[in-house]
Chains A and B, each alone.
Chain A
Amino acid sequence: MSNPVNLTINGQPVQAPPGTLVIDAAKTVGIQIPAFCYYQGLSLQAACRMCLVDVEKAPKLLAACTLLVGEGMVVNTESPAVVKARKDMLEFLLSNHPLDCPVCDKGGECELQDMVFRYGAGESRFTEVKLHVDEKQWSPVVFFDAPRCILCYRCVRICDEGLGVKALGITNRGAYSEITPNMGTHLECDECGSCIDICPVGALTSGIYRYQTRPWEMEHVGTICTHCGDGCKTTLGVRNSEIIRGNNRDRSGINGEFLCIKGRYGFDFVNHQERLQSPLVRVDGKLEEASWSSALALVAAKFSSIESAGGKIGVVGSSRTTNEENFYLQKFVRQGLHSPHIDHRRSGDVAGLLDALSGKTGALAATADLYTANSLLVIGADLAQQHPFLAFQIRANWRHHQSRTYVVASGPVREDSFATRTVQAAPGTEMDALAGLADSLRAAGNLVIVFGDAVQGDAVRRLVDFGSGLGIPVKYLCLVDYSNSRGALDMGLAPDLLPGYRPAPETGMTVAQMLADKDLAALWVVGANPLEKTALASSSAFVVVQDLFLTETAQRADVIFPAASAYEKNGTVTNTCGEVQRLQKGLGVMGAKPDLDIFALLARHMRLNLGATQPDKIFEEIRASVSGYNVAPMVLATGGAALTNPVNGRVPQSAAAAIASSRDTLFTSGTLGRYSKILGNVMEAPGGLYQR
């Protein structure tokens, strides 16, 4: 590091590394220089002229957002000239602004409002007629109101640089300049809504949120998105037990302010009209509403009689329920029902990776590593579709640190546009393509390998051997599909593994085996849809389903319990990297109960004592007993993410588990995605922008 530069800002001595911008240097000593277009992490624009400062010996005011610190520089951010310039700038920005704050969605959290409040321009000398342009709808989620726009280019830059989508531009010039979508009249993009959130004014508004509420009327609940496995924090705006928006403007959580369409808008399944709100019991072949107590009593009696008769009870757990629920469920099944048959849908070979990494420490990548690693190798995954946040991280790493990305894929992926090298490999031949990359990977110094379900079983071991052979620090990331796919395996929802990857005393049946077993006496499915495409072989099996909706599996059920979604419960989930984070209950939906409550009620009906039933207490149990989960409670309590390192040793795998990703796109999310209107309403072909 070269010597720091000394300068003076408002009489205060400031030290900053060479290359620091004056606007950032001022921040280090608590001096805020107002700006609209300057945005951390994006390229410099110097369009808004709000950050003008007085610099000694400079003939005129300079923009602090593009001015580098210099030795002996004397800056004044509050001189009369600066104060006047700001006021004039704001008067200028307001000259064509409609000042419709009372009906504007942004009112109350608008940067322009705040700036005018603080820096003035209470009156305007502009007497001409304002230029009016009608508002436009560009997509189901994006609306544009041109007169409110202050042309800061934030939306253009976040779309272009941050997402790599390049769907927004500015056409025409001067007073007629206007943000324009890539298809002229509408957008074809990821529909992530980043442009809306980053807009400092109310020019871009959200189709879901617009004209629904005032920002101060909502409660803001920071929880974890329930869709893909990346574990983004989404802050739900909740009013009267209704989620009105999702965003992450406070940049808390591993994702900063990044969210894709699912995290920002995909919560609307919560109040879908087909949501189950009462237990259903099959009477004379038809499902009929029943009371909780009668449904619970029926299931308890049935489970007890099957168990005492020695019948086989198969249990399919969920990739979206919390760690606490999964932990309690496997305890229920193994200790309460004395059944070894418990599994969930496996979407990545995490157990294989942990086994192959036996004896290595610090070899599991966290989401932050994707942003800091010198090089990345992505094998067999279209991250922009299946793991949008990981794709964002890798892209940001390339933009900010010039990291090198290597892609081995069977088709076009968004990373191709900046990848150092892309190798096309037909499915199944991904591993063969690696040899040619070894020399370039070694040169980078360190590496993160990200792989999907294309690499599983023996191939994982070969991949780790390949990584170890490079002689540089290598971290690995095994991709899994849903918000708690990783936690489900960590918590022992597997026929051969107990929580913490300890071997099960008796190996049970996998999901496929349960469905194919003609003698299966009962099937208990929690938040999963195994019968979506496969029929149940056992015609006499008693089927119990806990779900939000009447899925294909639920339609075969004898008893259905209406379950609460992740946004309606507390607990923890573990993302695809193994980072555990806390869910916070945002609302309650009438009639539905969290799966944990359903388990606990069922246990009580069966007179089983399986220990604590409160999420916090169960997490204490998990911390104490599940290897790798002994994380600092404060990290979770304060909304942070703690990286778990579940096991360092061989992982015994005796069951031949089928591992397959459901290959969701940006606009699908398993069964849950089918009940999100917004995901169903966007018109784009996912990936259309880079797959043509």
Chain B
Amino acid sequence: MTFSQETEARFERLLSSYPEGRHRAALIPMLMYAQDEVGLVTQELKEEVARRCGVTPLQVDEVVGYYTMLRSKPMGKTHLQICTNISCLLRGGDKLWDQACHKLGIGHNEVTADGAVSLEEVECIGACSWAPAIQVNYDFRHNVTPDQLDKLMDQLRGAQ
């Protein structure tokens, strides 16, 4: 399996940052980078990453099954994560969640028909001080109001 030059360069840097014989430490970041490029973790990808990190495909499976940020099915072009954990909940996170579901017509871990946006209800993303918080791919948005969320969703769908 081959990746873009950029990703390959990242992998190389990643593997060289751990001592010889400890390449399994690169497993999670490598899966994340690869997922960003491929869009999801495929069986082929698991086997490739296993080979590069010196573990068995089953050991990659264990990690992929454990971490929710690693996905075995395709997500939308933009992945929208809304926190409904305690701090965000108290500041209206649950309402943001309902609003997003309603507007996009999809639920937890689902993708819009056009493949533009996918939605995930997440536990604490570590931005309690700026609750309610949401995550758009890797970017955080703080103190999100229903209005802002509405605009964001329009934008995401329009950008398609």
Contacts and interface: CB of A to CB of B under 8 A. Distances in A.
B59 interface: yes
Nearest to B60: A169
Contacts of B61: 169, 171, 180
B59 A172 contact: no
A172 B58 contact: no
Contacts of B66: 171-173
B57 interface: yes
A288 to B, nearest CB: 56
Interface in B45-74: 56-59, 61-62, 64-66
A166 B58 CA distance: 8
A9 interface: no
A182 B65 contact: no
A170 B62 CA distance: 6
Contacts of A169: 56, 58-59, 61-62
A180 B63 CA distance: 13
Interface in A122-175: 166-173
Nearest to A171: B65
A169 B66 CA distance: 12
A355 B47 CA distance: 51
**Majority SS at the chain A contact face:** strand
B56 A173 contact: no
Interface of B is mostly: helix
Contacts of B59: 166, 169
Nearest to B55: A166
A24 B71 CA distance: 42
A267 to B, nearest CB: 30
Nearest to B67: A173
B86 to A, nearest CB: 19
B62 A171 contact: yes
Interface size, A (range): 10 to 19
B58 A173 contact: no
A166 B65 contact: no
Contacts of A180: 58, 61-62
A166 B56 contact: yes
A581 B18 CA distance: 49
Contacts, number: 27
A227 B66 CA distance: 42
Residue among B58, B62, B66 with the highest chain A CB neighbour number at 10 A: B58
B61 to A, nearest CB: 5
Contact of A167 (B58, B62, B64, B65): B58
Contacts of B62: 169-171, 180
Nearest to A166: B56
A175 to B, nearest CB: 13
A182 B57 CA distance: 8
Contacts of B56: 166, 169, 182
Nearest to A174: B66
Interface in A288-315: none
Interface in B12-71: 56-59, 61-62, 64-66
A180 to B, nearest CB: 7
A260 B127 CA distance: 53
Interface string A173-187: 100000011100000
Interface string A310-326: 00000000000000000
B81 to A, nearest CB: 18
Nearest to B56: A166
B65 A172 contact: yes
Contacts of A173: 65-66
Contacts of A171: 61-62, 64-66
A370 to B, nearest CB: 24
Nearest to A170: B62
A168 B65 CA distance: 14
A170 B61 CA distance: 8
Contacts of B58: 166-169, 180-182
A181 B56 CA distance: 12
A170 B59 CA distance: 8
B21 to A, nearest CB: 11
Contacts of A172: 65-66
Contacts of A167: 58
A142 to B, nearest CB: 15
Nearest to B64: A171
A181 B61 CA distance: 11
Nearest to A165: B56
A173 B65 CA distance: 7
Contacts of B64: 171
Contacts of A181: 58
A181 B64 CA distance: 15
Nearest to B43: A184
A542 B108 CA distance: 82
Contacts of A182: 56-58
B105 to A, nearest CB: 28
A483 to B, nearest CB: 33
A167 B56 CA distance: 9
Contacts of B57: 182
A418 to B, nearest CB: 11
A278 B151 CA distance: 90
A171 B58 CA distance: 9
Contacts of A168: 58
Nearest to B66: A173
A168 B56 CA distance: 10
A513 B96 CA distance: 91
A670 to B, nearest CB: 32
B62 to A, nearest CB: 5
A692 to B, nearest CB: 12
Contacts of A166: 56, 58-59
Contacts of B65: 171-173
Interface string B76-116: 00000000000000000000000000000000000000000
A575 to B, nearest CB: 33
16 contacts: A166-B56, A166-B58, A168-B58, A169-B56, A169-B58, A169-B59, A169-B61, A169-B62, A170-B62, A171-B62, A171-B64, A172-B66, A180-B61, A181-B58, A182-B57, A182-B58
Closest 3 CB pairs of A and B: A171-B65, A169-B58, A172-B65
Interface of A: 166-173, 180-182
Interface of B: 56-59, 61-62, 64-66
Given A169-B62, A180-B61, 16 more contacts: A166-B58, A168-B58, A169-B58, A169-B59, A169-B61, A170-B62, A171-B62, A171-B64, A171-B65, A171-B66, A172-B65, A173-B65, A173-B66, A180-B58, A181-B58, A182-B57
